Amino acid sequence: MEASSRTHILLGIIAFLTLVIFALVAAALGVIVKVANKQDDAIAVRTTTTTSAGTATTTSSSSANNLVTSITVDQMMSHLNAFQEIADNNGRTRAIHTRGFELTLDYITKYLTDNTDLKVHRQDFNWSTFNLTDIPTFSSNITGVNKIYTRGVGADFY
């Protein structure tokens, strides 16, 4: 009889924990839905139109899905190809402190100015750069086996 009562207690605990888990999942989903709805509301666009009859205000909801679906692969490839052309014509790089970097900024600034209502302002800021003083290596000791890896094209890691 003692084993049977232990089994009943164990089953009761399992049932209770299952209900608690379901309640927590439901609460978490409720929070996620509420946050998602607030984000959609935050993205809403308000338009005010003034006519001789008066002023009308309309609000339309624009979600992230609308933005995602408005971007085409062809548009993305056009920009990526432009970035690659900038790199190809400037030492195969667009890294900071290079002409390729400056031309990339010019491209982005011109595109946003010509194709959007954004007010584009470029602001320079300071950053640090570091140069390697030697070829980096990585050493490991796994189960008593020492191994040294070197960095570089055709090496152990890049």
Cα angle, residue 104 at apex, residues 86 and 90 outer, rounded to 5°: 35
Per the domain annotation, does 82 fall within a domain? yes
Please state, in angstroms and rounded to a whole number, the distance separating the CA atoms of residues 68 and 35: 19
User: Are residues 76 and 47 both part of a single domain?
Assistant: no
Q: What pLDDT is recorded for position 30?
A: 84
pTM of the model: 0.46
User: Are residues 87 and 49 both part of a single domain?
Assistant: no
Q: What pLDDT is recorded for position 5?
A: 82
User: Are residues 43 and 89 both part of a single domain?
Assistant: no
User: Are residues 56 and 88 both part of a single domain?
Assistant: no
In Å, what is the CA distance from 102 to each residue of 90, 117, 129?
10, 23, 17
Per the domain annotation, does 87 fall within a domain? yes
Q: What pLDDT is recorded for position 158?
A: 62
Q: What pLDDT is recorded for position 70?
A: 84
User: Are residues 54 and 20 both part of a single domain?
Assistant: yes
Please state, in angstroms and rounded to a whole number, the distance separating the CA atoms of residues 60 and 45: 5
- Report the Cα 97 to chain-centroid distance in Å: 25
Closest residue by Cα to residue 157 from 132, 135, 130, 131: 135
User: Are residues 48 and 88 both part of a single domain?
Assistant: no
User: Are residues 46 and 17 both part of a single domain?
Assistant: yes
User: Are residues 49 and 6 both part of a single domain?
Assistant: yes
Contact 137, 151 (CB under 8 A): yes
Please state, in angstroms and rounded to a whole number, the distance separating the CA atoms of residues 154 and 158: 8
Q: What pLDDT is recorded for position 51?
A: 52
Domain hosting 80: range is 72-115
Positions in the chain short of pLDDT 70: 1, 38-64, 158
**CB proximity list for 94: less than 8 A, separation 6 or greater:** 83, 86, 87, 100, 101, 103, 104
User: Are residues 93 and 47 both part of a single domain?
Assistant: no
The partner residues of 67 in beta bridges, in order of sequence, read: none
Per the domain annotation, does 67 fall within a domain? no
Q: What pLDDT is recorded for position 144?
A: 93
User: Are residues 54 and 85 both part of a single domain?
Assistant: no
Q: What pLDDT is recorded for position 116?
A: 86
Q: What pLDDT is recorded for position 68?
A: 79
The total number of structural domains in the chain stands at: 2
Please state, in angstroms and rounded to a whole number, the distance separating the CA atoms of residues 74 and 143: 51
Contact 3, 11 (CB under 8 A): no
